[in-house]
Chains A and B, each alone.
Chain A
Amino acid sequence: MGALELKGITKRFGATEVIKGVDLRVEDGEFCVFVGPSGCGKSTLLRIIAGLEDASAGDILLDGVRVNDVAPARRELAMVFQSYALYPHLTVRDNMGLALKQAGIGKAEIRAATDKAAQMLALEPLMDRRPAELSGGQRQRVAIGRAIVRTPKLFLFDEPLSNLDAALRVATRIEIARLHRDLGATMIYVTHDQVEAMTLADRIVVLRAGKVEQTGRPMDLYNDPDNLFVAGFIGSPQMNFLNAPALSAPGATLGVRPEHLQVSRSAGAIEGQVSHVEKLGGETLAYVKSALHGLLTLRLFGEHDFIMGETLYLSPEPQRQFHFDAEGLRLRIV
């Protein structure tokens, strides 16, 4: 229970087409992450799955049943919003129990369900407070608790961690991963954050301007991107794109990740000057300005010292190069 299938979903707002034909299958129990630039339609797609927006065309199937005309509450899914969206006038307990109450479930059962969810998320001491009396992280945990209580087939998360600070984000991310293991439910998760996407996902769906660019396991997208866009989007810092003809490489663009550039002070394929250095402790990022290729990022393990303006020679590791044609499609050269 909990498999989702989208068939040719499109969505128009007036004349503008925001979702342009999305086909997607999310298996039961899978953790699926949607990533993509701002405005590419991630939230819209999630709202269509939830039933909060109607699709202009296409079918949504849950467990093989078409649910286009089923009300959101009857789709047996739960959604966690970026802004928490807790009911301000209800206590934490009532916030979590409202959906069950609306479904006509008995008081004792609601109490048992909310207590169980509270225990999973360590919310017990907060049950009688109102949302205004909670911190941001606590509110987000309550929002997640509200989703758990309903034991839905499908969880939808729309950038749930983006309002939290860095430490809390890590803690909540681990919590969500644990929940996914414990509940075994299907989850669809929208995020801007590379780390969240890479660490949580069984499968990542990269969206761009309302279209699916590529789907795959995190490491497949990282090691084997289908096109320039996915190559640039997955991985941080971003992949370097070099001028291929200047290096007499095939295609129009040569892609190489910052960690796959070898550096030398005497000789190499690309000559450039150091323009900025960022030391992060565990690693060092150097930005090298090259006349032919623009600004390149270099990522080195450990601590390294560079002099500003110093000339460096960079060489892409031969096994780690990606070739793209003029349209940005990957050329797979064996």
Chain B
Amino acid sequence: MAHARSHLGRSIAAHAALIAYTVIALFPVFVIVINSFKSRKAIFADPLALPGPGTFDLVGYQTVMKQGDFLLYFQNSMIVTCASLFCVLLFGAMAAFALSEYRFRGNLLMGLYLALGIMIPIRLGTVAILEIMVASGLVNTLTALILVYTAQGLPLSVFILSEFMKSVSDDLKNAGRIDGLSEYAIFFRLVLPLVRPAMATVAVFTMIPIWNDLWFPLILAPAEETKTVTLGAQVFIGQFVTNWNAVLAALSLAILPVLVLYLVFSRQLIRGITAGAVK
């Protein structure tokens, strides 16, 4: 009985701490979302108030929609994020499998080389990257962004996935070999399903910086037809006048797709963890 009560007490304390953290973490998001539904005057009068009958205003969303190409910006962001994510996960997993599974000369060096990118920010190479893109005629294309983001995401992906793949039982892979599965089948059908939680983690860590990035869209693809959402939202931020309604509305909208993607992956992540626990 005493044991049960102390258990309850501990769980209340844990939940209180987690709830407090959640409130703090979500507060800025909350402020952005409520203010995006208010008129300009109401935003500045009382930023923390909820939108009420007098202050509710969709002018921000109307501006964003009228600004023409926001749907296109969204589409661009989605294409770039999803394509980069796909490449990072696929190539990262393949490299990780090779590094963890096969003994070959230079295995360790190759692993270190691929992990080096975690420590060196890719932005240091911006000038060179721009030169390459100009030379290959990829400026102002989504391809340029996808390539850069793939390069940016690969090191962490290879590093995390190879650690996880080392933990996949050798016996299982060997059983597959004896049963006549090709190395590709072993990779796709045995190993990938088992490292799904790790893939979801990598996906979340890779996706958010890509979606939020302003730097490379601005430098490599600033043209109207290749703008991403974050770059598109910048038109409302002027040096002297900023259209706060529109900025907040654009940001609120930009949260949605990434939230959906996150939910998809986190469901995978949880499923992977519980599957392991039941086994």
A: number of interface residues (CB 8 Å): 26
Within 8 A of A (CB), among B224-279: 275, 278-279
> Can you offer 27 A-B residue contacts whose CB atoms are under 8 A?
A50-B174, A51-B177, A52-B174, A52-B178, A71-B177, A72-B177, A73-B178, A73-B180, A74-B180, A77-B178, A78-B178, A81-B171, A83-B169, A83-B171, A83-B172, A85-B169, A85-B171, A85-B172, A85-B175, A87-B176, A87-B190, A88-B193, A89-B193, A98-B181, A99-B178, A102-B181, A132-B275
Given the contacts A50-B174, A52-B174, A88-B279, A103 and B180 also touching, CB distance less than 8 Å: yes
> Closest Cβ of chain A: how far from B101's Cβ, in Å?
12
B contact residues around A86 at 8 Å (CB): 175
Q: Which residues of B contact A47 (CB under 8 A)?
A: 174
In the assembled complex, which residues on chain B have CB atoms less than 8 Å from the CB atom of A50?
174, 178
- Quick one: which of B174, B177, B179, B194 contacts A88, CB cutoff 8 A? B194
Complex CA gap A47/B177 in Å reads 11
What residues make up the interface of B, taking CB atoms closer than 8 Å to A? 169, 171-172, 174-181, 190, 193-194, 275, 278-279
Query: Complex formed: what's the CA distance from A81 to B175 in Å?
Result: 8
- Nearest residue, chain A, Cβ from B181: A102
Give bound CA distance, A42 to B193, whole Å. Answer: 31
A82 at the interface (CB under 8 A from B): yes
Q: CB-defined interface of A102-127 with B at 8 Å, one 1/0 digit per residue? A: 11000000000000000000000000
Closest to A13 in B: B103
Contacts of B174 in A (CB 8 A): 47, 50, 52, 72, 79, 81, 85
Given known A47-B174, A81-B174, contact A98–B278 (CB-CB < 8 A):
no
Verify B171–A82 contact, CB threshold 8 A.
yes
CB distance from A60 to the nearest CB of B (A): 15
Asked, given contacts A87-B190, A88-B194, A89-B193, whether A102 binds B171 with beta carbons under 8 Å apart, the answer is no
Most A-side CB within 10 Å, residue of B172, B179, B193, B279 = B179
* B190 A102 Cβ-Cβ under 8 A: no
- Inter-chain pairs besides A74-B180, A102-B179, 14 sampled, C-beta below 8 Å: A50-B174, A71-B177, A72-B178, A73-B179, A78-B178, A79-B174, A81-B171, A81-B174, A81-B175, A82-B171, A83-B169, A87-B176, A102-B181, A132-B278
Residues of chain B lying within 8 A (CB to CB) of residue A82: 171
How many angstroms from the CA of A102 to the CA of B190 in the assembled complex?
A: 14
Chain B, residue nearest A152 (CB):
B178
Name the distance in Å between A266's Cβ and chain B's nearest Cβ: 58
- CB-based contact A102/B180 at 8 Å: yes
Chain B's closest residue to A80 (CB) is B175
Closest to A97 in B: B179
Pick from B178, B193, B275: contact of A79, CB below 8 A: B178
In the bound complex, how far is the Cα of B176 from the Cα of A102, in angstroms? Answer: 10
Q: How far is the CA of A241 from the CA of B180 in the complex (A)?
A: 49
A53 to B113, CA, bound (A): 27
For A79, the closest partner residue in chain B by CB is B178
Q: Which of A61-78 contact B (CB under 8 A)?
A: 71-74, 77-78
CA distance A10 to B167 in the complex (A): 28
Proximity bits, A89-100, B CB within 8 Å = 1, else 0: 100000000110
Do B180 and A99 have beta carbons less than 8 Å apart? yes
Chain A residues whose CB sits within 8 angstroms of the CB of B190 once the complex forms: 87
From the candidates A51, A52, A81, A98, name the one contacting B179 in the complex (CB within 8 A).
Answer: A98
Bound complex: CA of A206 vs CA of B239, how far in Å? 84
